[in-house]
Amino acid sequence: MTDSYVVSIDQGTTSTRCIVFDRRGNLVSVAQREHQQHFPRPGWVEHDALEIWRNVGKVVPRALAQAGIVAGQVAAIGIANQRESTVVWDRRTGVPVAPAIIWQDTRTDALVETLAGTPGAEDLPQRCGLPLTTYFSGPKLRWLLDHTSGLYERAERGEVLFGTMESWLVWNLTGGPAGGLHLTDVTNASRTMLMDLRTLAWHPDSLAFFGIPSAMLPEIRSSSEVYGTATDVLPGVRIAAALGDQQAALFGQTCFAPGDAKCTYGTGSFLLLNTGAEPVHSTHGLLTTVGYQIGGEPAVYALEGSIAITGSLVQWFRDRLDLISTAPEIETLARTVDDNGGCYIVPAFSGLFAPHWRSEARGVIVGLTSYITKGHLARAVLEATGWQTREVVDAMNADSGLDLTALRVDGGMTANNLLMQFVSDVLAVPVVRPMVAETVSLGAAYAAGLAVGYWPDLEGLRSNWHLAARWLPEMDDAVRAEERENWERAVERTFGWIKPAARAANE
């Protein structure tokens, strides 16, 4: 018998990647292709959904060729995708009616402000687990309906379809205009603001609030089940999973038990905590989201805290201050000194996010004395990521009543040993890195493999998870408490920097 494999498609913000995994969860081959970022106006970010679909058609065959396998050896396809980005396309031609509006796009800020004053706005967060902001798909879809002539009527007649990237890809993979399946999974649907977190169905009041015709919406399915069989790219192969990228990482890190948490450290960082079968509503500024749902089993929920500026602070240090020439050098520079020398950097570049939510805050560097060197600044840059992680973890512990006992990490910044040690020091729990760094793709592969019986059960997946590194807390409790207090005092100094008058003038 020839070996079989699982193929994962990670449709990300900057690129589309295809990874082939074997039965032990080892990476066999990778192919990647970037797509164009369009910035037609300040605050607007768009992708060409057709370009993305064409890229899928390029990277999948390339990954298979690299692995030396044929479609017949692929047991299943799983999809992980950039979340919230919104596509509307013509059911008959398969052509998008407008460029895809990407999650970072803030064109809906005025719309969101208007909607916030509309009756029904107060019921939304409880129902969907999310605050009303530009980030999620609902407002983006409403904007498209408002700004594309005749679109609302066509949507009512079911002539155009809405989807996030996984819907768009599944529809195209299963035939497109010729009978393509129009569906989404619970994790992606939980980022639209349109789904009821408890019933996992589109909620009529939410649809009415945003003015969305239900005829254009995809069917909500679990994250791990056979949706259908591909007729294009990998004809005959079952499509068996879809998850938003951060949820896929949670799954890939095998965070299957309540209290399991992972943090993906990149440009920004995303911390997700498995809270089990009940959605936990946050009183500390976190998002409530669906973690995953396997077939007909109950959904597993998660709390999510995002940190806007982590890796991007290192990039700022490199590109704007010119103090290092490559990102890894920050560790070398930081190791030229023993501590931060009393210096703290709070990177509130565009306000503070979870758990503070202060849009008028701006970044500060405090504690400067003539003693401070660029080495101390480098330390303060890394420590900022550690303390921001701590703030989100504290909020999660408070909201969930669970106590984090270890943090599973992935992403580029996990190569930074000093940072990982510091995260463990300030959290006072072990920080662990798994052997497979590609947790987003692995999560989609796992969910797909599980659905087709390639892997037997969650326990089987857990046994694939192997520890590559572990950092244990070494910081003295008294030092941690004092540094914590200093960080908090530094954070307070960011508050209120943008004056109300200036804000009013900007609006």
Partner 1 sequence: MPGQVQSIARAAAILRLLASSSGRLGIGEIARSLDLPKGTAHGIVRTLQDVGFVEQDKTSGKYQLGAALLHLGTSYLDVNELRSRSINWADPLAARSGEAVRIGTLLDGKVLVVHHVFRPDDTLQTLDVGSLLPPHATALGKVLLAYDVGAANAVMQGEPEPYTRRTLVTVRTLTRALTGIRDNGWGAEIEEMTLGEAGIAAPIRGYGGLVVGAIGLSGPIDRVCDGQGHPRPALVAYVRDAARAVSRDLGAARW
Provide the binding-site residues for partner 1, judged by CB under 8 A: 24, 26-27, 325-332, 412, 414-417, 435-437, 466-471
CB 242 within 8 A of CB 170: yes
Residue 415 C-beta: closest distance to partner 1, Å? 4
- The structure tokens 């420590």 sit at 383
Rank residues 395 and 420 by Cβ distance to partner 1 and give the closer one: 420
Rank residues 85 and 414 by Cβ distance to partner 1 and give the closer one: 414
Residue 229 is assigned to a ligand binding site: no
Using alpha carbons, select from 280, 271, 274 the residue that is nearest to residue 307. 271
d(CA 272, CA 250): 7
Residue 260 C-beta: closest distance to partner 1, Å? 16
Residue 356 C-beta: closest distance to partner 1, Å? 31
Residue 174 is assigned to a ligand binding site: no
Rank residues 166 and 410 by Cβ distance to partner 1 and give the closer one: 410
Residue 315 C-beta: closest distance to partner 1, Å? 14
CA distance to 5, 112, 265, per residue, from 131 (Å): 40, 10, 23
Residue 244 DSSP SS3:
strand
- What's the residue count for the chain? 507
Rank residues 172 and 414 by Cβ distance to partner 1 and give the closer one: 414
Residue 337 C-beta: closest distance to partner 1, Å? 15
CB 422 within 8 A of CB 413: no
Residue 373 C-beta: closest distance to partner 1, Å? 18
Residue 472 C-beta: closest distance to partner 1, Å? 8
Residue 467 C-beta: closest distance to partner 1, Å? 5
d(CA 52, CA 84): 15
d(CA 115, CA 424): 41
Rank residues 235 and 328 by Cβ distance to partner 1 and give the closer one: 328
Using alpha carbons, select from 345, 344, 346 the residue that is nearest to residue 358. 346
Using alpha carbons, select from 195, 44, 78 the residue that is nearest to residue 129. 195
Gyration radius of the chain's alpha carbons: 23
Beta carbons within 8 Å of 451's beta carbon, 6+ residues apart: 76, 224, 225, 226, 238, 240, 241, 294, 295
Residue 135 is assigned to a ligand binding site: yes
Rank residues 98 and 415 by Cβ distance to partner 1 and give the closer one: 415
Which residues, listed in sequence order, are joined to residue 312 by a DSSP beta bridge? none
Rank residues 129 and 386 by Cβ distance to partner 1 and give the closer one: 386
Residue 416 is assigned to a ligand binding site: yes
Residue 23 is assigned to a ligand binding site: no
Residue 322 is assigned to a ligand binding site: no
Residue 267 is assigned to a ligand binding site: yes
Residue 15 is assigned to a ligand binding site: yes
Residue 311 is assigned to a ligand binding site: yes
Rank residues 115 and 333 by Cβ distance to partner 1 and give the closer one: 333
Residue 405 is assigned to a ligand binding site: no
Q: Which helix (H) or strand (E) holds 292?
A: strand 287-292
Strands 5-11 and 74-81: parallel
CB 412 within 8 A of CB 266: yes
Residue 362 is assigned to a ligand binding site: no
- Pull the structure tokens for residue 288: 């409530």
Rank residues 24 and 92 by Cβ distance to partner 1 and give the closer one: 24
Residue 325 C-beta: closest distance to partner 1, Å? 8
Beta carbons within 8 Å of 507's beta carbon, 6+ residues apart: none
Using alpha carbons, select from 40, 38, 161, 146 the residue that is nearest to residue 97. 161
Which residues, listed in sequence order, are joined to residue 79 by a DSSP beta bridge? 9, 242
- Residue ranges of the annotated binding site for glycerol are 83-84, 135, 245-246
From the annotation, which residues make up the binding site for ADP? 13, 17, 267, 311, 412, 416
- List residues forming the annotated binding site for ATP: 13-15, 267, 311, 315, 412
Show binding-site residues for sn-glycerol 3-phosphate: 13, 83-84, 135, 245
Residues annotated in a binding site = 13-15, 17, 83-84, 135, 245-246, 267, 311, 315, 412, 416
